[in-house]
């Protein structure tokens, strides 16, 4: 079958067979072509025209292509959609080829291994992961090709693996073909990642992985490394020694809670704006931005580590001028980590090296500045900074100040760096000087004032004389080169000779400069480990100055750590405060500890219950990453984990119902929390019917109280639950204060001791301008319910049912008890609405659901 194809298509099919899971970009002249299924799929995904060509078989072969020079944008589009692209180049000179030109795949670009393009955010890592399953858990390895960072961790539960992958937003996960299919599918869905298979032989341990403890991590990392090698087919010298960590070293925040607390992106728009990361980000370098995100993802749990950061932050707060200076200098420091990556990859250009040089120039003063800070730790830090002065000298000596992007046009290397280069440059310059003088000379000699000496790429140097002046030229001295409409261009033997000299010199210059640059690049390669260390130091300084800056600007306080006590005086929600203008924000206290491990929060809708709960979690996270916190005073324990059950995180992807997600999140907390954890349960049980939900809520509170003892904030609409305070010694009621003013509620957003006396749901409905009749009816029902206590029957509604049935023409439903009023006639439509309204069980609805229902009904009537 294959034999009937042309040799080129046969070659294509052979290569394609090895890259089934990637689009094969097959280089043909100035295009990358795709054939067969690839072509069909690519033409759809990229919206490019599908054509066809003869390939030796009876049917034409589907084909589409993209121009070589604009391929990057197309590749990026495919990668973004989770595809892989194999770049297949001609690897021999077509002129020298016998038969079909040799072609090979030179690089496989995958979502986890892209090095540049819009997909790479400068303030985010681009991690690729690999997961292996073992008897008692999972090995997880992470690698960022752009920065050279490598991490490895052993994790017992797959949920925690997913959390880790989610929090670093790895776009690709490498597994062996034996990996559990179901788990792989879950990973793919939950993390939105591409799954890649790698079964290659795990070769001998490489240097950066030598120290890995145990076979599990070695196998996991080596699988990833093998995959990287196979796809990249080039030097991976910049990969740093694998850093082994343990989940227990950091505060654990599961995937749901990270999302719920909007640590690095908001729930609704999935954007950074509005998240904690957005609020805190006062970093000046891309590396610092990435480190900040890593810190937020993994808050510390060891007091000594937290305090070390705190001390630096405090010192920087106390040295305003030095800090401002540091910020100015850091602004000039480019992304050393990614520069180092590009040096290793061999795709660094002269402008990159200039950036490197400019960055290194800042380091001595940064070192001095940090050393001058009045703190032992700062001085130690400064002492450790290696400014790589030898590299700076090398770059200053070698590199031209203003090099072009291209490496083939010269202008890369400074005068005086290389003798031969200087000679060529002299030769070229002499020649050019001679030519510059030629115009004057020839004008004098011929007497033609308009005579010009010029240069163009096709004809080289020439002397141009207008047709009117041709008679003034001496016979035999000028050789005609080109004829224009009203001028002739000439050359003289002398000019020809100089031209040859200049061109040769320039050619030599470009070639030599390219060579010298390549050598320089190799030399810079030797500095990669030192540069990476420097990058780490700079990014830490940047993240620490960021904390100092934000803490001072927003008047944060240094938190103090306690064993068990929470004492936050005048705390604020950092993000809400920023968004709403701080004068309006009402600060709140939070006191927890002995005999107050759990707080039951009641209060009207919209009063600020959720905000208050999130605030405590965010303050704890900020404290444990080393930042100061928005409060007048803050004493906090060090939490080992934070769990949240906060609405609005419907897991649409996994297709689970809201209530199921609610229960899963609750389970996650109940199973894993310890007495050192923080749990936020925001209106648990709201998603099911009243008594069902209330029963669940009470059972959950009792369970946490009796079996876990974690610090717990539990907000609820069920006032009935407030009686639990008498039964459970660790539970205290608090409420958010609201007041009635002229018949409407005023939210004070103030947390007070004790239970709320009233639910103001009806007032909120009123604020939302539901019909007056409806509001007064709701008030009536409420009154009746309050009289009957908490009996589950809904007597008011059932009574009315019969009333309507008996006297259908009467609108007694709305005008309750005023039968003497004249009833208007009721249309069919109105009857339908009434029927619908009757069947609604208001007590089972959230206020929002009630509003929606009202809206629908009202619309029907209009």
Ligand X SMILES: Nc1ncnc2c1ncn2[C@@H]1O[C@H](COP(=O)(O)OP(=O)(O)OP(=O)(O)O)[C@@H](O)[C@H]1O
Positions at the binding site? 603-610
Closest separation in Å from C-beta 848 to ligand X: 8
106, 149 Cβ separation under 8 angstroms: no
Closest separation in Å from C-beta 680 to ligand X: 11
DSSP secondary structure letters along 652-708: TTTT--HHHHHHHHHHHHHHH--TT-EEEEESTTTTS-HHHHHHHHHHHHHHIIIII
Which residues partner with 491 through β-bridges? 479
Closest separation in Å from C-beta 608 to ligand X: 3
Which option in ligand X, Mg ion, none does residue 246 bind, with CB closer than 5 to 8 A by kind?
Answer: none
Which option in ligand X, Mg ion, none does residue 760 bind, with CB closer than 5 to 8 A by kind?
Answer: none
664, 655 Cβ separation under 8 angstroms: no
Closest separation in Å from C-beta 141 to ligand X: 40
Residue (275 or 610) nearer to Mg ion, CB: 610
Residue (224 or 622) nearer to ligand X, CB: 622
For 482, phi then psi, to 5°, come to -155, 145
**Binding of Mg ion at residue 150 (CB under 5 A)?**
no
Which residues partner with 713 through β-bridges? 599, 680
Dihedral class, residue 270 (left if φ above 0, else alpha if ψ from -120 to 50, else beta): left
**Binding of Mg ion at residue 644 (CB under 5 A)?**
no
Measured from each CB, the residue nearest to ligand X is 608
Closest separation in Å from C-beta 151 to Mg ion: 36
In whole angstroms, what separates CA 710 from the centre of its chain? 32
Residue 685 burial (CB < 10 Å; 0-12/13-18/19+)? Answer: buried
Which option in ligand X, Mg ion, none does residue 170 bind, with CB closer than 5 to 8 A by kind?
Answer: none
Q: How many residues bind Mg ion (CB under 5 A)?
A: 1
Which option in Mg ion, ligand X, none does residue 749 bind, with CB closer than 5 to 8 A by kind?
Answer: ligand X
3-state SS class at 796: helix
**Binding of Mg ion at residue 77 (CB under 5 A)?**
no
**Is residue 67 within a helix (H) or strand (E), and if so which, with residue range?**
strand 61-67
The two tokens of residue 443 are 């004008």
Residue (366 or 765) nearer to ligand X, CB: 765
Which option in Mg ion, ligand X, none does residue 421 bind, with CB closer than 5 to 8 A by kind?
Answer: none
Which option in Mg ion, ligand X, none does residue 607 bind, with CB closer than 5 to 8 A by kind?
Answer: ligand X
DSSP secondary structure letters along 224-268: HHHHHHHHH-S--TTPPPPEEE-GGGB-EE-HHHHHHTTSSS-TT
In whole angstroms, what separates CA 804 from the centre of its chain? 59
> CA 583, CA 586: separation in Å to the nearest integer?
8
Taking contact as CB under 5 A, which single stretch among the options 276-284, 397-405, 606-614, 789-797 is the one that binds Mg ion? 606-614
Which option in ligand X, Mg ion, none does residue 163 bind, with CB closer than 5 to 8 A by kind?
Answer: none
Residue (536 or 554) nearer to ligand X, CB: 554
- Cα–Cα nearest to 257, from 641, 609, 612: 641
**Binding of Mg ion at residue 611 (CB under 5 A)?**
no
Distances (CA, A) of 469 to 323, 415, 461, 490, 768: 71, 43, 20, 13, 91
Closest separation in Å from C-beta 722 to Mg ion: 17
Closest separation in Å from C-beta 42 to ligand X: 46
Closest separation in Å from C-beta 322 to ligand X: 35
Which option in ligand X, Mg ion, none does residue 606 bind, with CB closer than 5 to 8 A by kind?
Answer: ligand X
- Cα–Cα nearest to 343, from 525, 143, 518: 525
Closest separation in Å from C-beta 837 to ligand X: 24
Residue (610 or 644) nearer to Mg ion, CB: 610
Residue (55 or 847) nearer to Mg ion, CB: 847
626, 309 Cβ separation under 8 angstroms: yes
Which option in ligand X, Mg ion, none does residue 576 bind, with CB closer than 5 to 8 A by kind?
Answer: ligand X
Known binding-site positions for ATP: 603-610
The two tokens of residue 529 are 């480990």
- Each residue 508-547 as x (binds Mg ion by CB under 5 A) or -, in order, gives ----------------------------------------
- Cα–Cα nearest to 64, from 53, 47, 50, 76: 50
Closest separation in Å from C-beta 861 to Mg ion: 31
Residue (280 or 713) nearer to ligand X, CB: 713
Taking contact as CB under 5 A, which single stretch among the options 280-288, 557-565, 604-612, 632-640 is the one that binds Mg ion? 604-612
- Each residue 560-599 as x (binds Mg ion by CB under 5 A) or -, in order, gives ----------------------------------------
Which option in Mg ion, ligand X, none does residue 146 bind, with CB closer than 5 to 8 A by kind?
Answer: none
**Binding of Mg ion at residue 610 (CB under 5 A)?**
yes
Q: Which residues in this chain contact ligand X in the complex, by CB under 6 A?
A: 576, 580, 584-586, 588, 603, 605-611, 749
**Binding of Mg ion at residue 264 (CB under 5 A)?**
no
DSSP secondary structure letters along 518-573: HHHHHHHHTTHHHHHHHHHHHHHHHHHHHHHHHHHHTT-B--EEESS-EEEEEE--
Sheet holding 137-144, edge to edge: 194-197, 172-175, 127-134, 137-144, 149-155, 243-245
Half-sphere exposure of 280 (CA within 13 A, CB side): 36
Binding residues for Mg ion (CB under 5 A): 610
């Amino acid at each position: 079958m294959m034999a009937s194809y042309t040799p080129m298509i046969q070659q294509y099919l052979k290569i394609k067979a090895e890259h089934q899971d990637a689009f094969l970009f097959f280089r043909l002249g100035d295009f990358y072509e795709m054939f067969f299924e690839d072509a069909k799929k690519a033409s759809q995904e990229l919206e490019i025209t599908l054509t066809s060509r003869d390939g030796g078989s009876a049917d034409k072969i589907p084909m589409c292509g993209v121009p070589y020079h604009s391929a990057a944008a197309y590749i990026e589009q495919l990668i973004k959609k989770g595809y892989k692209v194999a770049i297949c180049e001609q690897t021999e000179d077509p002129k020298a080829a016998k038969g079909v030109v040799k072609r090979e795949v030179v690089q496989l670009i995958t979502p986890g291994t892209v090095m540049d393009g819009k997909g790479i955010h400068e303030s985010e890592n681009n991690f690729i992961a690999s997961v292996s399953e073992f008897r008692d858990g999972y090995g997880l390895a992470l690698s960022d090709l752009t920065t050279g960072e490598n991490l490895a961790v052993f994790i017992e539960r797959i949920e925690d693996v997913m959390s880790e992958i989610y929090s670093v937003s790895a776009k690709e996960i490498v597994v062996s073909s034996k990996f559990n299919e179901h788990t792989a599918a879950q990973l793919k869905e939950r993390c939105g990642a591409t799954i890649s298979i790698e079964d290659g032989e795990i070769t001998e341990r490489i240097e950066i992985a030598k120290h890995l403890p145990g076979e599990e991590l070695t196998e996991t990392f080596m699988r990833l490394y093998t995959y990287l090698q196979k796809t990249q087919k080039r030097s991976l010298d910049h990969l740093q020694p694998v850093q082994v960590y343990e989940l227990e070293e950091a505060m654990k925040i599961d995937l749901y809670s990270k999302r719920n607390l909007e640590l690095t992106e908001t729930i609704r728009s999935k954007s950074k704006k509005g998240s904690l990361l957005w609020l805190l980000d006062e970093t000046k370098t891309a590396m610092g931005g990435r480190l900040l995100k890593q810190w937020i993802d993994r808050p510390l749990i060891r007091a000594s580590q937290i305090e070390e950061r705190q001390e630096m932050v405090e010192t920087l707060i106390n040295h305003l001028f030095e800090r401002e200076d540091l910020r100015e200098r850091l602004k000039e420091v480019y992304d050393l980590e990614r520069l180092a990556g590009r040096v290793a990859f061999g795709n660094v250009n002269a402008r990159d090296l200039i950036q490197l040089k400019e960055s290194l120039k800042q380091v001595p003063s940064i070192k001095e500045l940090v050393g001058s800070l009045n703190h032992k730790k700062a001085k130690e830090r400064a002492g450790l900074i290696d400014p790589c002065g030898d590299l700076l000298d090398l770059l200053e000596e070698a590199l031209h100040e203003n090099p072009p992007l291209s490496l083939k046009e010269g202008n890369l290397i400074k005068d005086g760096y290389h003798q031969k280069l200087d000679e060529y440059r002299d030769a070229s310059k002499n020649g050019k000087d001679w030519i510059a003088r030629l115009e004057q000379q020839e004008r004098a000699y011929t007497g033609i004032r308009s005579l010009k000496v010029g240069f163009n790429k096709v004809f080289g140097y020439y002397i141009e004389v207008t047709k009117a002046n041709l008679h003034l030229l001496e016979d035999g001295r000028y050789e005609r080169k080109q004829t224009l409409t009203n001028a002739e261009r000439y050359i003289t033997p002398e000019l020809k000779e100089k031209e040859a000299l200049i061109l040769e010199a320039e050619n030599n210059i470009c070639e030599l400069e390219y060579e010298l640059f390549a050598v320089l690049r190799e030399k810079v390669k030797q500095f990669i480990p030192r540069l990476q260390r420097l990058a780490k130091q700079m990014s830490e300084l940047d993240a620490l100055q960021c904390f100092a800056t934000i803490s001072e600007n927003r008047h944060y306080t240094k938190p103090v750590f306690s064993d068990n006590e929470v004492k936050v005086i005048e705390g604020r929600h950092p993000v809400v405060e920023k968004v709403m203008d701080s004068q309006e924000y009402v600060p709140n206290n939070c006191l927890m500890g002995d005999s107050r491990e759990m707080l039951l929060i009641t209060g009207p809708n919209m009063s600020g219950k959720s905000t208050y709960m999130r605030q405590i979690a965010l303050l704890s996270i900020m404290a444990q990453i080393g930042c100061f916190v928005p409060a007048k005073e803050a004493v906090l324990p060090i939490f080992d984990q934070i769990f949240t059950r906060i609405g609005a995180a419907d897991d649409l992807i996994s297709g689970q119902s809201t209530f199921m997600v609610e229960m899963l999140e609750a389970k996650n907390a109940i199973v894993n929390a310890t007495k050192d954890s923080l749990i936020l349960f925001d209106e648990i049980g709201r998603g099911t019917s009243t008594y069902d939900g209330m029963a669940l809520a009470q059972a959950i509170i009792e369970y946490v109280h009796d079996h876990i003892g974690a610090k717990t904030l539990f907000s609820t609409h069920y006032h009935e639950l407030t009686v639990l305070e008498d039964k459970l010694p660790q539970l205290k009621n608090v409420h958010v204060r609201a007041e009635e003013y002229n018949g409407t509620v005023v939210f004070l957003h103030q947390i007070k001791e004790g239970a709320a006396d009233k639910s103001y749901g009806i007032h909120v409905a009123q604020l939302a301008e539901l019909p007056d009749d409806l509001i007064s009816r709701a008030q009536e029902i409420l009154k009746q319910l309050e009289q009957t206590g908490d009996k589950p029957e809904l007597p008011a509604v059932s009574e009315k049912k019969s009333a309507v049935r008996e006297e259908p023409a009467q609108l007694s439903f709305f005008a309750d008890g005023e039968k003497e009023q004249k009833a208007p006639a009721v249309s069919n439509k109105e009857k339908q609405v009434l029927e619908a309204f009757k069947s609604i069980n208001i007590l089972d609805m959230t206020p929002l659901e009630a509003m929606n229902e009202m809206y629908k009904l009202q619309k029907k009537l209009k």
